[in-house]
Amino acid sequence: MIAVEEVPPERVHMYGIVGVGAPVGEAFKITQMVEKPKREEAPSNLSITGRYILQPEIFRILENQPRGAGGEIQLTDGMVRLAQTQSFLGFRFAGQSFDCGAKIGFLAANVAYGLARKDIAADFRAELKRLMKDL
């Protein structure tokens, strides 16, 4: 099972993108997974959000996975290989997500997390205001 969310078409080249197949209850069959495709080659504008439920076979695949986009071993490429023997379902993620592969996204995620914690939110908010005042 893979969580997906819509991204603007001009940003599909930044994410793993899925192709959408037949509905399966609240989910849908994933027909394709492409890591960081060119806009014109993307099967949709639904990005993989980094929330997965995968079978343990993925680890054997990743052990021998050649480097893909960006010269990195891409989980999406391993999932494409796994999809040759297992079907994948996707569902639209309803929460808030952050691009933690980007510096600003990582920082924004941490700020959102700090502000959401009842035990530290007030002190954290005050610290953010102090930092902003010093700019």
Residue 77 sits in the same domain as residue 109: no
Q: Do residues 78 and 108 share a domain?
A: no
Q: 81 with 113, same domain?
A: no
The answer to whether residues 86 and 107 belong to one domain is no
Q: For residues 93 and 51, what is the distance between their CA atoms, to the nearest angstrom?
A: 9
- Report how many domains make up the chain: 2
**Contact by Cβ (8 Å): 47, 12:** yes
For residue 93, which amino acid is it?
A: F
Q: Are residues 59 and 102 in the same domain?
A: no
pLDDT for 10:
94
pLDDT, position 77: 86
Domain ranges, residue 8: 2-95
pTM: 0.76
What pLDDT digit, counting tens, does each position of 10-60 carry?
A: 999 999 999 999 999 999 999 999 988 999 999 999 999 888 889 999 999
Considering the domain architecture, whether residues 49 and 20 belong to the same structural domain is answered as: yes
Does 75 have pLDDT greater than 90?
no
